[in-house]
Structure formats: structure tokens, C-alpha cells
């Protein structure tokens, strides 16, 4: 089923122990899915992209198998799943959940309502401030949580003003992340005060 090496030899023991700890039997295909996601770092990938990169590595598996493994990994906490907008609706994107990641990490995602692209920021001080505000309002938050801010990116703002951008079109197709400066949040009616 495979033609060549699938994982980096130094990372293979780490991935095998992660799979065993999650009570998942290590296989060549599972190791390659995990390696492919780990190599992408914090980049979100569609299942099709994981599949394509696996083929480039020399590992053959069906697209259905890749999605089944991604779902299995998500349930065990080895990968994170996010929903991204596409022309046909929403699609799942995945990334590797690195072991030993900060347990009190806060992920703030600023997502464009128009095209679905996003920017992600992690900030410990912001996390601590949100925990303090939530606790003062009677919401006991602890550990890891995510915050999403929805608004319009500068490309969608220009497009709504009648300007069309080919760069915007390619970012929609490839799920590219936005620069922070290119995002305007939509004001909310209610806000928590610190």
C-alpha cells in the first residue's frame, strides 16, 4: 500500500506513543496523516490537502480513509477541527494539536463573514483578562477556550464597495489567513466590561 518512507525517523517514536496513549493502533497511514499535519504546523488543512500531501510522500490511501482517521484523531484530541466557509457551504479543516501545548492558551480567531478567511492570535494576558471578567460575571472559566470574532476583511469591504480583487478570490479558494491589519470587527450590542 506504500512506496516509500512516510515519517521522519526522529518523530516516529513520538507519534507512535501519542497514538498508543490515545488507544489507537499505529499504522503506516495513521502515522503519515499525523506527520503531514505536524509538518504543516499551525496551518489549517482540508482533508483533501492532507490526502494530496500524503500521496506526494509516497503513501497511498483513499480519501475516505484519510477523513476517517482525521475524525478518529479529532475524537482523541490529536488534531483540532474547525469549520471554514467555502462556496458550497462549510468545510472541515484540521491541524495538529501539538503535545505539551500551553494548557491555558487562548486562541482568538477573527473570521471574515464574507469569505471565511481568518486570523488567529494567542495571547496569555488577554486570556487572563477574559478569565477575570468571566469569573466576575459568575462564569467559572478555566483551562483552554477559544474566542471567535466575526467581521469583514478588507478584501470583502472593497468588494462590497464595488472593487473586485483576484488576490481575494485566491484566498477564498485556498483558505489563506488574513493579516491582522486587514480585519475590521463588527460591533456587538453587548460587551463584558472588565
Q: Provide DSSP, 41-52.
A: TT--EEHHHHHH
CATH class of segment(s) 102-194:
alpha beta
User: Residue 184's pLDDT is what?
Assistant: 53
- Which of these CATH numbers, 2.60.40.1180, 3.40.50.300, 1.10.10.10, 3.40.640.10, describes 1-101? 1.10.10.10
> Following CA atoms 107, 82, 69, 95 in sequence, which dihedral angle do they give, to the nearest 10 degrees?
-40
User: Residue 42's pLDDT is what?
Assistant: 77
Same CATH topology for 1-101 and 102-194? no
What number of helices (H) and strands (E) belong to the chain? Answer: 7, 7
C-alpha distances (whole Å) from 164 to each of 15, 157, 167, 179, 182 are: 44, 10, 9, 18, 15
The whole-angstrom separation of Cα 125 and Cα 115 is 29
Domain spans of the chain, in order of start: 1-101, 102-194
8 — pLDDT class (breaks 50, 70, 90):
low
pTM above 0.75, yes or no: no
Q: Is the pLDDT of residue 105 over 90?
A: no
Average pLDDT over residues 127-131: 79
Percentage of the chain beyond pLDDT 90 is 25
Q: Is the pLDDT of residue 142 over 50?
A: yes
Average pLDDT over residues 44-52: 93
pLDDT 10s digits, 50-91: 999 999 999 989 999 999 999 999 999 899 888 877 777 788
Cβ neighbors of 44 (< 8 A, separation 6 or more) are: 82, 84, 93, 94, 95, 175
User: Residue 37's pLDDT is what?
Assistant: 92
Amino acid at each position: 500500500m506504500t512506496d516509500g518512507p512516510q515519517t521522519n525517523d526522529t518523530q516516529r517514536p513520538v507519534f507512535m506513543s501519542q497514538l498508543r496513549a490515545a488507544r489507537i493502533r499505529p499504522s503506516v497511514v495513521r502515522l503519515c496523516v499525523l506527520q503531514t499535519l505536524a509538518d504543516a504546523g499551525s496551518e489549517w488543512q482540508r482533508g483533501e490537502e492532507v490526502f494530496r500531501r500524503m500521496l506526494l510522500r509516497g503513501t497511498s490511501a483513499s480519501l475516505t480513509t484519510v477523513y476517517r482517521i482525521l475524525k478518529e484523531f479529532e475524537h482523541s484530541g490529536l488534531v483540532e477541527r474547525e469549520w471554514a466557509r467555502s462556496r458550497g457551504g462549510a468545510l472541515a479543516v484540521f491541524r495538529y494539536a501539538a503535545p505539551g501545548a500551553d494548557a491555558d492558551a487562548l486562541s482568538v480567531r477573527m473570521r471574515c463573514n464574507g469569505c471565511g478567511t481568518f486570523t488567529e492570535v494567542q495571547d496569555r494576558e488577554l486570556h487572563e483578562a477574559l478569565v477575570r471578567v468571566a469569573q466576575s460575571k459568575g462564569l467559572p472559566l478555566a483551562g483552554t477556550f477559544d474566542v471567535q470574532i466575526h467581521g469583514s476583511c478588507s478584501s470583502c469591504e472593497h468588494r462590497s464597495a464595488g472593487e473586485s480583487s483576484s488576490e481575494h478570490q485566491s484566498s477564498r479558494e485556498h483558505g489563506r489567513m488574513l493579516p491582522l491589519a486587514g480585519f475590521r470587527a463588527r460591533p456587538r450590542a453587548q460587551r463584558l466590561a472588565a
